Amino acid sequence: MKRPDQQITEAIAAVRFSVADALRSRVAGPNPDKRVQEILSADGPRWFATDRPIRKVHSDSSMFIGGLRALLLQSLHPLVMTGVAQHSDYKNDPWGRLQRTADFLVSTTYGPAQEAQRTIDRIKFVHTKVQGVASDGRPYSANDPHLLRWVHVAEVDSFLAAYQRYGANKFDQSDRDRYVADMAVIARALDVPNPPETERELQEQLDSYRPELSSTEESRDATRYLTAKPPLEFPARAAYTALVAAAISTLPQWSRSLLGVPYLPITEKFALRPIGDGITRILRWATLPTSPYAK
């Protein structure tokens, strides 16, 4: 017969795994471990060696936070957000975009070069169908090099910011630059022009887009949906709310008013950041024992 302390420990572990599995299955899709194992076990040379920073960042549980931050930040470009609103069904399929992004990152970061290129070609084909006219009369296209670069720099900045704040290990300047350079390899494959190669270039390019960014009806709607209406049951909903709080705490100060998110430095330091630390530790604890990246 099990002792009471053993029963309590097992009950806590069961809740942790349940929460982690609920989030992972929605963010990474069904059977994420099986999909990852298929990619890792496939033969062939990779785009990135096993010691590259991109592999460390993309295997860390902070990516849950980075992914949400990227979606919030990307929504501030009116043409990008119009494309999402007009060509995706994110309200009826709220996890679809995150799942596609997760599969894209796994394939290009860890997969054989052939698999990575297939993923890139598939994305390029989908982009040919994403075009139209925004409410202000401006035409847009997902293959517009300028918009492609905005999506790229917002993602890189978000993944790196989340890792530096909540990742298992912090990068020094050299590794931060190497991570940005790693992501530039993927960007060039997607026909992103002049992707940043260092953290300084990343910040310069990100800042260069600020005059184009604004709060729109579509972006506000997306923000409300991402932050306040997650289609999850408790306790996964509580864990998701913690991820959102952590993502908000890493957003650039200048983006807060556009997103309608107040900047409260004291609250973020003493409440949101500890919440982010806690949820990433739980996710790391629940996923690392079976994660192929840990081997």
CB 96 within 8 A of CB 228: no
Q: How large a percentage of the chain has pLDDT more than 70?
A: 73
CB 248 within 8 A of CB 70: no
CB 71 within 8 A of CB 30: no
- Residue extents of the structural domains in the chain: 15-294
Chain segment 161-172, per-residue pLDDT in tens: 999 999 988 999
My answer on whether omega of the bond before 235 falls inside 30° of 0, hence cis, is yes
Per-residue pLDDT at 5 exceeds 60: no
Average pLDDT, the chain: 83
Q: State residue 24's pLDDT score.
A: 59
- Sequence-distant (6+) residues with CB within 8 A of 15 are 235
Chain segment 79-128, per-residue pLDDT in tens: 999 998 898 776 666 566 677 788 899 999 999 999 999 999 999 999 99
CB 76 within 8 A of CB 214: yes
Q: State residue 1's pLDDT score.
A: 54
Average pLDDT score over residue span 63-78: 93
Q: CA angle 272-282-269, nearest 5°?
A: 15
Average pLDDT score over residue span 226-253: 79
d(CA 8, CA 19): 17
Q: How large a percentage of the chain has pLDDT more than 90?
A: 51
